[in-house]
Amino acid sequence: MTSKLDRLNQWVAEVARLTRPDAIQWCDGSDTENAALIDKMLADGTLHRLNDDTHPGSYLHRSHPDDVARVEHLTYVCTTHHEDAGPNNHWMAPDEAHAEIDALFDGCMQGRTMYVIPYCMGPIDSPLSRCGVEITDSPYVVANMRIMTRMGAAALARIERDGSFVKGLHSIGELDPNRRYIMHFPEELTIKSYGSGYGGNALLGKKCHALRIASHQARSEGWLAEHMLILGIENPQGQTHYIAAAFPSACGKTNLAMLIPPQGYRQDGWKIWTIGDDICWMRPGPDGRMYAINPEAGFFGVAPGTSNKSNPNALASIQSNTIFTNVGVTADNQPWWEGIDNGQAPVTDWQGQPYDAGVRPAAHPNSRFTVSARQCPSYSAMAEDPQGVPISAIVFGGRRASLVPLVFEARDWTHGVLVGAAMGSETTAAATGAVGVMRRDPMAMKPFCGYNFADYFAHWLSFDQDGAKLPKVFHVNWFRKGDDGKFLWPGFGDNLRVLEWMIRRVEGSGAATETPIGHLPAAGDLNLDGVTLSEEARDKLFGLDRAGWQAEFANLGEYLAEYGPRLPQALLDEQQRIADTLA
């Protein structure tokens, strides 16, 4: 009798013939299996045990110094036609790409164990979830995938029920930057990654599947796979609104997802619930609203800057059962990074050398922690709801030192899509390359959209149909600076003041002024009790620099033109309409 797992078994056999491992291990996700893998990695130095009194069940992993971030210049989308990948992706023809990377996989697992990891992105029983199988020779990947996904026997059972899965093949190879590729084949629902052990390149359920492949799936199936956090905001009356927000990596997504309300808000009964900090899958529900799930089960967060001041919930989450990657350690073997501000000091840096601030930081700027979302004090049980949570608002934001005000609301859905398409941010250490350079990063998906951005914008526009009850769209900028180079907005928990205004706008009660770029609040439209803002701050956070926006929209027109005739005319018309009102 034919089994729905025959295709999976056949693929595993094919990979084994190509890579020639010494052994094959099918991962069931059990505690016993995980303990054995941890012991193996402790024995061979892949992991180092941290202080069991202060951080029980936690470990440190040190990457190769040339393998510490996503490698966008070596990441390819391999579609039959080049134009389907678009100018936003590096492209290679599928046949050429398979030949190129399979030559690297040839015999690469000799002397190693090949691990087969069935996993589910999203709650096991959710109709919004999708499954995959990653084959890897890295036990570190297995341990991380166990935290980041629903991995093991339950996922395999769902794959057998559904009969479909995304295929992901990974090998750490020789960790040679010159022998490294991350290739995606959206039309085949296949990922091949070679030569890197870093999370974004090696945990194939994460950016590779949950964004690049899933965005392609979402377009064909009528939903959205987005680089967005999801949080719930509960007001004193007990009503909860859910917001999805897109920010480029290392721009405060995790901080916002786990926000601690200011003291006055806490006293009044406001609460924040964390659904997810990085990825959001959403689709229209029967009532016309958008419903979202977090496809991940854990957090792969940036460590530097995480402190009891910036993100108490994140810090509380990672006090146990956490894998730290590329952080420093203290004399008593506790994890340490710049900005932790806990009164301790590192003795060893992320490369395992004696700490010397003149040589390198204690923690790599892109060092990470991997931890189960359930350990977060603000974790919401709604994260496991199979139907997802209804989204009231979508928020776009970037790191802009000038021009962009604290918050504005898009006029309608088409304008909102343009706001997302126009997003710009200064680059951070989450990707290789120069830091601090302003680049367009539409919907924070520039490194992650698995197809042509022009088609992606058209897909977003397609949700504006009769009967749709679409979320309001907003743009925020926590990073506006004054003439002295210092941030004008306090950020962190005070960002709830902006979210509260958004909720009032959703409910129809919030005041705003219509401007060419959208609806702007005045300073008095936000609850600023306890916040002192200078006159310069009020002018720049809530004002409109018309000349600056004229230049911005001229530049945006040039940017959109890069996508050629596939770009939706509605987006060009909207850009021109706003440019005309600014003139």
Query: Which residues participate in the annotated binding site for GTP?
Result: 250-255, 368, 399, 492-495
Alpha-carbon span 170 to 109, nearest angstrom: 10
| For the chain, counts of helices (H) and of strands (E) | 17, 30
Cross-strand pairs, 481: 487
In 3D space, the residue among 311, 441, 440, 331 whose CA is nearest the CA of residue 371 turns out to be: 311
Is residue 285 classed exposed, middle or buried when 0-12, 13-18 and 19+ CB atoms within 10 A define those classes? Answer: middle
User: Which residues define the annotated binding site?
Assistant: 70, 198-200, 207, 227, 249-255, 278, 366-368, 399, 492-495
3-state DSSP helix/strand/coil percent for the chain, to nearest 5? 35, 25, 45
Q: What is the CA radius of gyration of the chain?
A: 23
Strands, E assignment, 145-227: 150-151, 166-171, 181-185, 190-194, 224-226
> Could you tell me which residues are annotated as the binding site for substrate?
70, 198-200, 249, 366-368
- Distance (Å, whole) CA 94 – CA 89: 14
Instruction: Extract the annotated binding site for Mn(2+).
Output: 207, 227, 278
**Pairing relationship of beta strands 113-121 and 130-136 according to DSSP bridges:** antiparallel
The helix (run of H) or strand (run of E) holding residue 159 is helix 153-162
Residue 251 appears among annotated catalytic residues: yes
> What DSSP line would sit under 512-571, residue for residue?
-EEETTEEE--GGGS--TT----HHHHHHHH---HHHHHHHHHHHHHHHHTTGGGS-HHH
> Residue written as tokens 């979508």?
394
* Set 78, 131, 208, 251: catalytic member: 251
Determine which helix (DSSP H) or strand (DSSP E) holds 202, and give its type and residue range.
helix 199-202
CB 418 within 8 A of CB 575: yes
Q: How far apart are CA 262 and CA 201, in angstroms?
A: 37
SS3 80: coil
Q: What is the DSSP letter of 256?
A: H
Nearest residue to 476 via CA among 229, 211, 218: 229
User: For residue 124, what are its two tokens?
Assistant: 């096991």
* Cα dihedral 452/454/455/456 (nearest 10): 80
Kindly give, in sequence order, each residue whose CB lies less than 8 Å from that of residue 294, ignoring residues fewer than 6 positions away.
122, 230, 275, 276, 278, 279, 280, 281, 373, 383
Nearest to 124 by CA among 148, 168, 159: 159
State the amino acid at position 401 in one-letter form: A
Six-digit token string for 484: 């002295």
Which sequence positions are flagged as catalytic? 251
